[in-house]
């Protein structure tokens, strides 16, 4: 299925062709039928000879209803461009072609109508003029089919050409994110609120919980779905859809609103965009101005700020910032048309580049690059990045996509903090989510028992100078006067230093003391005094008393009066 819009000057035979091709009169309003004039959008579909489905959005050609034309062409895949051979190229032929180009429509077929009234010469003339006018546009290589609706001439050839068009037109890009720009909202008898639109991405299914409206949005549920008057349970992108909604009155939804799946879209009132100014405009787009933007199926008054030092000249493309009156669910790549509010002329249009500009207008240099979006933020949640860009990137760290420069800065800062924490290490529990994600990928850093340490030394505390000093002077251990009390506690906790009473020993000193006392007791089995141990070790009483209390506590010795005798853990003599 492809959705194809008609385009062309008023009275050139667009609605007639849709009726001939589908059997449905797209002019559905009584006023349209009585005046023979398309005012609003019409919709009709059919099956082509190949079996492929095609849905038409029939647009008004009259310049007064251009707004309605713009509402209809925002989401189509291709166009059926109509030029009457009797009249040739006219102002709205030109304007519609420009609008389709600005909206990025890239495929089409031309119907040269009313050849029955034109005769061969006028028809040949109209063909030549047409070729000139579409040169350089997406219609340059398009098939041109001559038709005469009253006789049916050319209608089968047109069907065949449409079949080739449908086959050549790629399907709408499905990024799996549901968005339907509402072009009609009405109450259907017995069903309640129905909204229609062209589903450009994602899917819809009966029972879906969605959001509709701009500001504020309302929660709604899909009660029923139709495509070209046939009920369906679910539908994918590139279709005309009528959605029966529960939870809202039809008057609370309007053309231009969006029906989306909650949480999938970034809503924004400011976008940066590339604006192409039409070559035919007789003035540049000044640095600041008020315009009307056509986005999706809606019309929005906008303030435009040119993001550069000079106005944008006709035929040129330049960056602009658009300030919208309401927050719209937009994504880079969305197209828009800009018109002058006062003069009712099409100024240009283009493509959204950034839906959440970070830099002030004076410094913003928008482009469509995802890397720029990441670089301007440093760290972006991967799901948020998808909402901002429409592009899925696997996260680099934790749930974040991280700019390489920001990663280096954050990594260096964290490494400095870890280095500054020294032997004690940095408490991982004190880090935030980003730092913890970063830590796991920081080279030369080790995490043990909840603390991160610079990994230059295998165990930085084991090489602590005080530990070495304790081992070097086993029975005259220095006090930890110059050591951070937190480091002292950590060394004790890890068993690298043993505290007993007011003094600290190396574990090797305690082993050596146990062996020395064992040797003494082998000579004097009835016990040794503090003074005898002190003399034997060459130590002071200040150190020997706590040392012996430790040996008592671990069972190497036992106290009996003022003597120590052998305990159950006394090491055997060497």
Residues lying near ligand GDP in the complex (CB under 6 A): 10-16, 36, 38, 61, 82, 113-114, 116-117, 147-150
Q: Residue 113 binds which one of ligand GDP, Mg ion, none, with CB within 5 to 8 A depending on kind? A: ligand GDP
Nearer to ligand GDP, 36 or 301 (CB): 36
Nearer to ligand GDP, 65 or 336 (CB): 65
**Which residues 6+ apart lie within 8 Å of 190 measured at CB?**
none
Q: Give the DSSP per-residue string, 77-127.
A: SEEEEEEETTT-S-HHHHHHHHHHHHTT---EEEEEE-HHHHHHHHHHHHH
Strand partners for 291:
302, 340
Most distant pair of Cα atoms in the chain: their distance: 138
Is the CA virtual torsion 227, 230, 236, 238 positive or negative? negative
Nearer to Mg ion, 109 or 551 (CB): 109
Nearer to ligand GDP, 90 or 269 (CB): 90
Nearer to Mg ion, 38 or 500 (CB): 38
Whole-angstrom Cα distance, residue 505 to residue 473? 9
Minimum distance, C-beta of residue 15 to Mg ion, in the bound complex (Å): 3
**Which residues 6+ apart lie within 8 Å of 271 measured at CB?**
321, 322, 324, 330, 352, 353, 354, 355, 357
Residue 387 in contact with Mg ion, rule: CB under 5 A = no
Cβ atoms of 129 and 89 within 8 Å: the answer is: yes
Minimum distance, C-beta of residue 5 to Mg ion, in the bound complex (Å): 12
Nearer to ligand GDP, 33 or 489 (CB): 33
Minimum distance, C-beta of residue 15 to ligand GDP, in the bound complex (Å): 3
Using a 10 angstrom Cβ sphere, with 0-12 exposed, 13-18 middle and 19 or more buried, the burial of residue 572 is exposed
Minimum distance, C-beta of residue 62 to ligand GDP, in the bound complex (Å): 7
Q: Give the binding range for Mg ion (CB under 5 A) out of 37-45, 298-306, 317-325, 466-474.
A: 37-45
Nearer to ligand GDP, 149 or 547 (CB): 149
* b/e map 447-457, b = 16+ CB within 10 Å: beeebbbbbee
In the bound state, the residue with its beta carbon closest to Mg ion is 38
Minimum distance, C-beta of residue 117 to ligand GDP, in the bound complex (Å): 4
Q: Residue 13 binds which one of ligand GDP, Mg ion, none, with CB within 5 to 8 A depending on kind? A: ligand GDP
Round to the nearest angstrom and report the end-to-end CA distance of the chain: 94
Q: Considering CB under 5 A, how many residues would be counted as binding Mg ion?
A: 3
Whole-angstrom Cα distance, residue 567 to residue 574? 17
Residue 19 in contact with Mg ion, rule: CB under 5 A = no
Q: Residue 16 binds which one of ligand GDP, Mg ion, none, with CB within 5 to 8 A depending on kind? A: ligand GDP
Nearer to ligand GDP, 117 or 395 (CB): 117
Q: Residue 68 binds which one of Mg ion, ligand GDP, none, with CB within 5 to 8 A depending on kind? A: none
Residue 38 in contact with Mg ion, rule: CB under 5 A = yes
Write down the residue that tokens 């040169």 correspond to: 135
Residue 169 in contact with Mg ion, rule: CB under 5 A = no
Minimum distance, C-beta of residue 12 to ligand GDP, in the bound complex (Å): 4
Q: Give the DSSP per-residue string, 287-350.
A: SEEEEEEEETTEEEEEEEEESSSSPBPTT-EEEEEEEEEEEEE--TT-EEEEEETTT--EEEEE
Residue 15 in contact with Mg ion, rule: CB under 5 A = yes
**Which residues 6+ apart lie within 8 Å of 57 measured at CB?**
3, 4, 5, 6, 41, 42, 43, 72, 73, 76, 198, 240
Query: What are the Cα distances from residue 494, in Å, to 379, 459, 511, 513?
Result: 37, 11, 17, 21
Whole-angstrom Cα distance, residue 324 to residue 330? 11
Q: Give the binding range for Mg ion (CB under 5 A) out of 36-44, 280-288, 456-464, 485-493.
A: 36-44
In the bound state, the residue with its beta carbon closest to ligand GDP is 13
Nearer to Mg ion, 18 or 418 (CB): 18
Whole-angstrom Cα distance, residue 470 to residue 513? 14
Minimum distance, C-beta of residue 292 to ligand GDP, in the bound complex (Å): 24
Is the CA virtual torsion 322, 325, 330, 333 positive or negative? negative
Q: Residue 148 binds which one of ligand GDP, Mg ion, none, with CB within 5 to 8 A depending on kind? A: ligand GDP
Nearer to Mg ion, 25 or 129 (CB): 25
Nearer to ligand GDP, 96 or 321 (CB): 96
Minimum distance, C-beta of residue 3 to ligand GDP, in the bound complex (Å): 18
Query: What are the Cα distances from residue 249, in Å, to 214, 253, 297?
Result: 15, 7, 20
Q: Give the binding range for Mg ion (CB under 5 A) out of 33-41, 91-99, 179-187, 297-305.
A: 33-41
DSSP state of 250: G
Minimum distance, C-beta of residue 130 to Mg ion, in the bound complex (Å): 19
Contacts of Mg ion in 248-277 (CB under 5 A)? none
Minimum distance, C-beta of residue 406 to ligand GDP, in the bound complex (Å): 56
Query: What are the Cα distances from residue 128, in Å, to 85, 112, 121, 122?
Result: 11, 11, 11, 10
Q: Residue 12 binds which one of Mg ion, ligand GDP, none, with CB within 5 to 8 A depending on kind? A: ligand GDP
Nearer to Mg ion, 38 or 123 (CB): 38
Minimum distance, C-beta of residue 44 to ligand GDP, in the bound complex (Å): 12
Contacting residues toward Mg ion, per CB under 5 A: 14-15, 38
């Amino acid at each position: 299925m492809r959705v194809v819009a008609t385009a062309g000057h008023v009275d050139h035979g667009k609605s007639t062709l849709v009726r001939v091709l589908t059997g449905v009169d797209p002019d559905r309003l009584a006023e349209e039928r009585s005046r023979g004039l398309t005012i609003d959008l019409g919709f009709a579909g059919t099956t082509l000879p190949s079996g492929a489905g095609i849905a038409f959005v029939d647009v008004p050609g009259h310049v007064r209803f251009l707004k309605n034309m713009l509402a209809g062409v925002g989401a189509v895949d291709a166009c059926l461009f109509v030029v009457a051979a009797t009249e040739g190229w006219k102002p709205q032929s030109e304007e519609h072609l420009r609008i389709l180009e600005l909206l990025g429509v890239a495929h089409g077929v031309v119907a040269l109508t009313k050849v029955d009234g034109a005769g061969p010469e006028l028809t040949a003339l109209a063909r030549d003029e047409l070729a000139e006018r579409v040169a350089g546009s997406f219609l340059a290589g398009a098939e041109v089919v001559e038709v005469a609706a009253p006789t049916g001439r050319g209608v089968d050839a047109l069907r065949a050409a449409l079949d080739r068009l449908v086959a050549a037109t790629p399907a709408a890009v499905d990024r799996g994110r549901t968005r339907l720009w509402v072009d009609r909202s009405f109450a259907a008898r017995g069903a309640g609120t129905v909204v229609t639109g062209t589903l450009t991405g994602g899917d819809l299914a009966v029972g879906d919980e969605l959001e509709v409206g701009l500001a504020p949005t309302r929660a709604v549920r899909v009660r029923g779905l139709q495509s070209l008057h046939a009920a369906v349970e679910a539908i994918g992108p590139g279709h005309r859809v009528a959605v029966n909604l529960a939870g809202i009155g039809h008057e609370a939804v309007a053309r231009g609103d969006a029906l989306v799946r909650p949480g999938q879209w970034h809503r924004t009132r400011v976008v940066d965009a590339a604006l192409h100014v039409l070559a035919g405009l007789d003035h540049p787009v000044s640095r600041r101005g008020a315009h009307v933007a056509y986005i999706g199926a809606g019309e929005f008054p906008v303030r435009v700020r040119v993001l550069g030092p000079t106005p944008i000249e006709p035929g040129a493309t330049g960056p602009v910032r658009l300030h919208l009156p309401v927050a719209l669910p937009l994504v880079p790549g969305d197209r828009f048309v800009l018109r002058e509010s006062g003069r009712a002329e099409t100024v240009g249009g283009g493509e959204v580049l950034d839906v959440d500009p970070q830099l002030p207008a004076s410094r913003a240099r928008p482009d469509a690059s995802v890397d720029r979006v990441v670089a301007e933020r440093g760290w972006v949640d991967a799901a948020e990045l998808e909402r901002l860009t429409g592009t899925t990137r696997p996260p680099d760290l934790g749930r974040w996509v991280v700019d390489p420069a920001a990663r280096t800065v954050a990594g260096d800062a964290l490494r400095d903090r870890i280095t500054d924490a020294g032997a004690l290490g940095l408490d991982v529990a004190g880090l935030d989510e980003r730092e913890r994600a970063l830590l796991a990928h920081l080279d030369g850093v080790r995490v043990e028992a909840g603390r991160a340490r610079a990994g230059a030394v295998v165990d930085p505390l084991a090489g602590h100078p005080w530990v070495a000093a304790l081992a070097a002077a086993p029975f005259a251990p220095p006090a930890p006067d110059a050591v951070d009390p937190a480091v002292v506690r950590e060394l004790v906790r890890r068993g690298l230093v043993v505290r007993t009473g007011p003094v600290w020993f190396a574990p090797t000193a305690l082993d050596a003391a146990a062996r020395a006392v064992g040797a003494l007791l082998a000579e004097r089995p009835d016990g040794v005094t503090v003074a005898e141990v002190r003399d034997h070790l060459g130590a002071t009483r200040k150190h020997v008393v706590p040392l012996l209390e430790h040996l008592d506590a671990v069972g190497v010795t036992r106290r009996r009066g003022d003597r120590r005798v052998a305990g159950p853990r006394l090491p055997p003599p060497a």
